[in-house]
């Protein structure tokens, strides 16, 4: 195990009855970096977070956080971590300030410190006005911010955020992202789970794509996109009937045969330079009319689709339907 890894797991397995929630998961996050666990609902992200925050024992495999074993050193580890779970885990019948002071006291901060720290955090999260209001009057976004603030009370060196922005409005989401970036700049290590590809793209130094309890790809955002292939050209035609002619005409630009996706011709480019001009010239020569032409870098959604055969959202919907059925 690398000495400087703040989070390191090897072969983590956990089953709930018949369901293998984690099936041999290896993760690494060097100190001061953000690792994103990206995957649909039910992929095993929350189980991983629960094991790393000492809430669950793994069936097998090992995990160290901040140099401490999550099972043997669980008691010592708890003072080194902060957790913001999927729920806003705050007490509705306390005020915002009382919630944070309670958490500060339970981290055993020195006398007087919980109160000062609570005031600081409420100010930082723009909750100062609401500090003395009962949390049951807070909006969903305010509760999530308070929950994140609670995770930061003791300035833990390792932070676990389980889908921190699910259900947040864009403004709260941005505030939360900025805070996470500030904490990382100050040296905190963050493990973040998310279903949102843009969130992983923006925050994470490295991403582990997780599906059905296994890490199916790992790397930086760029590395993952490269695995899927480079840039692609998408041409929307004036007349859909000409798609075969367009596919034939664009063949010389393509790394593999162009395909028709949602009525547009998609070409994996051999090289980007001059591609648009060349495509226009080729299509013009073949007498094909163009409505729109654009170059796309692959998104993490493409990564997910190609690695798992289903898109992140699609799988999430399946899960919802299954849960309701």
Partner 1 sequence: MSSLRNSISDTLVLARRSLLRIPRAPDLLLSFTVQPIMFVLLFVYVFGGAISTPGFEYVDFLIPGIIIQTMSFGGFVTALGLSEDLKKGLVDRFRSLPMSRAAVLAGRTLADIATNAISLAVMIAVGFIAGFSFDAPFAHVIAGLGLALLFGYAFSWVFAFVGLSSSSPEASQSFGFILIFPLTFMSSAFVPVDSMPGVLEAFAEINPFTTTVDAMRALFLGTPAGNDIWGAVAWSVGIAAVFASLSVARYKRAISR
Task: State which residue, 81 or 265, has the beta carbon closest to partner 1.
Answer: 81
- Tell me the closest approach of the beta carbon of residue 60 to partner 1, in angstroms: 18
Q: What is the DSSP string of 215-279?
A: EEEEE-HHHHHHHH-S-EEEEEESSGGGHHHHHHHHGGGBSS--EEETTEEEEEBS--TTHHHHH
Neighbouring CB atoms inside 10 A of 271's CB total 11
- Tell me the closest approach of the beta carbon of residue 282 to partner 1, in angstroms: 57
The residues near 252 (Cβ < 8 Å, ≥ 6 apart) are 282
CA 280 – CA 127 distance, rounded (Å)? 54
8 A C-beta contact, residue 148 and residue 173: no
Strand, helix or coil for residue 84: strand
Strand, helix or coil for residue 187: coil
Q: Does 50 bind partner 1 (CB under 8 A)?
A: yes
Which range touches partner 1 (CB under 8 A), out of 47-55, 123-131, 272-280, 313-321?
47-55
CA 303 – CA 305 distance, rounded (Å)? 5
Strand, helix or coil for residue 105: helix
Q: Does 262 bind partner 1 (CB under 8 A)?
A: no
8 A C-beta contact, residue 132 and residue 97: yes
Site string for partner 1, 67-96 (x = CB under 8 A): --------x--xx-x-x-xxxxxxxxxx--
**Cβ density class 136-170: b for 16+ within 10 Å, e for less:** eebeebbbbbbbbbbbbbbebbbbbbbbbbeebee
Task: State which residue, 74 or 184, has the beta carbon closest to partner 1.
Answer: 74
Task: State which residue, 188 or 243, has the beta carbon closest to partner 1.
Answer: 188
Q: Does 103 bind partner 1 (CB under 8 A)?
A: yes
Task: State which residue, 161 or 293, has the beta carbon closest to partner 1.
Answer: 161
Task: State which residue, 54 or 195, has the beta carbon closest to partner 1.
Answer: 54
Site string for partner 1, 199-238 (x = CB under 8 A): ----------------------------------------
Size, binding site for partner 1 by CB under 8 A = 29
Residues 104-163 that bind partner 1 (CB under 8 A): 105-108, 134, 150
Q: Does 54 bind partner 1 (CB under 8 A)?
A: yes
Site string for partner 1, 264-283 (x = CB under 8 A): --------------------
- Tell me the closest approach of the beta carbon of residue 323 to partner 1, in angstroms: 13
Enumerate binding residues for partner 1 (CB under 8 A). Answer: 50, 53-56, 75, 78-79, 81, 83, 85-94, 98, 102-103, 105-108, 134, 150
């Amino acid at each position: 195990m690398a000495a400087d890894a703040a989070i390191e797991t090897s072969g983590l397995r956990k089953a709930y009855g018949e369901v293998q929630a984690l099936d041999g998961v290896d993760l690494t996050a060097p100190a001061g970096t953000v690792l994103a666990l990206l995957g649909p609902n039910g992929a095993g992200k929350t189980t991983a977070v629960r094991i790393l925050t000492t809430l669950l024992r793994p069936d097998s495999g090992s995990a160290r956080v901040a140099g401490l074993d999550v099972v043997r050193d669980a008691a010592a580890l708890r003072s080194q971590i902060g957790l913001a779970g999927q729920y806003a885990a705050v007490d509705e019948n306390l005020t915002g300030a009382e919630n944070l002071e309670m958490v500060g006291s339970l981290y055993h901060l020195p006398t007087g410190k919980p109160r000062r720290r609570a005031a600081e955090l409420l100010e930082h999260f723009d909750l100062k006005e609401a500090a003395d209001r009962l949390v049951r009057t807070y909006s969903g976004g305010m509760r999530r911010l308070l929950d994140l603030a609670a995770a930061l009370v003791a300035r833990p060196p390792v932070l676990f955020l389980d889908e921190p922005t699910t259900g947040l409005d864009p403004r709260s989401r941005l505030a939360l992202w900025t805070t996470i970036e500030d904490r990382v700049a100050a040296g905190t290590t963050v493990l973040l789970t998310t279903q949102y590809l843009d969130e992983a793209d923006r925050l994470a130094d490295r991403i582990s794509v997780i599906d059905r309890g296994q890490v199916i790809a790992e790397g930086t955002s760029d590395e993952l996109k490269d695995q899927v292939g480079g840039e692609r050209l998408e041409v929307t035609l004036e007349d859909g009937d000409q798609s075969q002619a367009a596919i034939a005409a664009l063949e010389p630009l393509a790394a593999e045969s162009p395909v028709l996706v949602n009525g547009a011709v998609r070409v994996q480019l051999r090289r980007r330079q001059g591609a648009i001009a060349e495509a226009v010239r080729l299509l013009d020569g073949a007498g094909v009319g163009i409505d729109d032409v654009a170059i796309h870098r692959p998104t993490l959604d493409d990564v997910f689709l190609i690695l798992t055969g289903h898109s992140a959202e699609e799988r999430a919907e399946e899960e919802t339907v299954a849960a309701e059925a």
